[in-house]
Amino acid sequence: MEFWIQGGTHFMERVVIIGGTGNISTSISRLLVEKGYDVTCFNRGVTKLEQLPDCVHTLVGDRWDRPAFEKVMQEQKFDYAIDMLCFDEQDALSDIRAFRGVKQLIYTSTTCVFGVDYDYLPVDEDHEKRPFTVYGKNKSIAEDVFLKAYKEEGFPITVLRPSSTYGNQSGMVGNVGETNLWIDRIRKGKPVMLCGSGNNVHQLLHVDDAALGYVGALGKSHCIGQCYNLVGKGCFTWRDYYKTAMKVLGKEAPMVCVPLDALEALGYEGRGFTTDIFGYNTIYSHEKVYRDIPEFRPKVSLEDGMRGVIAFADAHGTVPNCEDYPLDDKVCAYMQNIVSLKD
């Protein structure tokens, strides 16, 4: 398969995405096709919430059956690879065996490698890594494996560290509690919880904007051996997040502040990302990625992105019923009663 460009005939470069149908990778697949790449997704063939372009190929297999995975990847001789699934040291070592000979492998890491104990804000790529969750620790170890291979044998790795990304498949996170749950609470006029004062700052990136970073990094030799925070300019407070949501939903609801230690004591550690991430100020520097990958210029506003994702959630029935979470009502009522004591 070939296409014509200035200067003559050019064979399409082949890109494999490990995953390919998930939250970020669906947008990556679409943009790669738009840019003229020959795209293959390697996955189990199970999850497919959104339609990929017809020209995208699928290889069905188990990424964690490492010998079979590595054999298939070597046989296919892809030009580029993007791994959305690599999680730990063994996955990284497997990738190095699987993708020897590619021009570039992009590894999806996370800003969770930094933890939340920061020396300064915004956190740049040179900040010491202090992961404290299992997820962050494993991703950090995988980074180290890849960068060691780059230094010792020139393995062509680029590490991208998204912060929070959102899209149709992931839904809209809440400051406290499960994804999309707050949508039902606002619609019913029930209070939504804020961790602490609600003035903690965070960054969100729409998956279509995240794709700009992945595709923009391909083929850039100066990105080899580098790590990038995949974040846009600016940030928001959780209060502003919910104000935007109420505008989108056309409904108003009270916001109730709950201390982080109270949420931890009440078992919210296993509900959403409050105790790991959202209860803290999390701002990461965009300067390096903007400098090295000029194609990465996020365009989707929070309001527009939220509007689209909520519409998709409604159409697919993925907004939980807040009545199934009675503890939230109890916590909100308790905190409102405390505040009313001053009257």
Domain boundaries along the sequence of the chain = 2-337
- Domain 2-337 in CATH 3.40.50.970? The answer is no
Cα–Cα distances (Å) from 293 to 45, 153, 258, 297, in that order, read 32, 25, 40, 9
pLDDT above 50: residue 51 = yes
pLDDT tens for residues 69-91?
999 999 999 999 999 999 999 99
Burial 134-148 (b: 16+ CB within 10 A, else e): eebbbbbbbbebbbe
Q: Where residue 2 falls among pLDDT bands split at 50, 70, 90?
A: very low
Tally the C-alpha atoms within 13 A of residue 327's C-alpha that lie toward its C-beta.
11
Mutual angle of helices 302-316 and 238-249, in 10-degree steps: 60
Helix 89-98 vs helix 66-76: crossing angle, to nearest 10? 30
Average pLDDT, the chain: 93
Other beta carbons within 10 angstroms of residue 122's beta carbon come to 18
- DSSP output for 70-118: HHHHHHHT-SEEEES---SHHHHHHHHHHTTT-SEEEEE--GGGG-S--
270 pLDDT band, cuts 50/70/90, is: confident
Question: Which distant-in-sequence residues (6+ apart) come within 8 Å of 178 by Cβ?
Answer: 271, 272, 320, 325
Characterise 179 by phi-psi region: left (phi > 0), alpha (psi -120 to 50), beta (else): beta
pLDDT at 11: 61
pLDDT tens, position by position, 125-163 = 999 999 999 999 999 999 999 999 999 999 999 999 999
pLDDT at 53 over 70: yes
CA-to-CA separations, 254 to 129, 155, 242, 251, 315, in angstroms, rounded: 37, 52, 10, 10, 26
Q: Is the pLDDT of residue 3 over 60?
A: no
- % of the chain exceeding 70 in pLDDT: 95
Mind listing the pLDDT tens digit for each residue in 94-125?
999 999 999 999 999 999 999 999 999 999 99
CB 257 within 8 A of CB 194: yes
Q: In the structure, what pLDDT confidence band is assigned to residue 8 with cuts at 50, 70 and 90?
A: very low
pLDDT class for 340, splitting at 50, 70, 90?
Answer: confident
Phi/psi for 224 (5° steps) reads -70, 135
Give the predicted TM-score (pTM) of the model. Answer: 0.93
- The pLDDT score that the predictor gives to residue 343 is 60
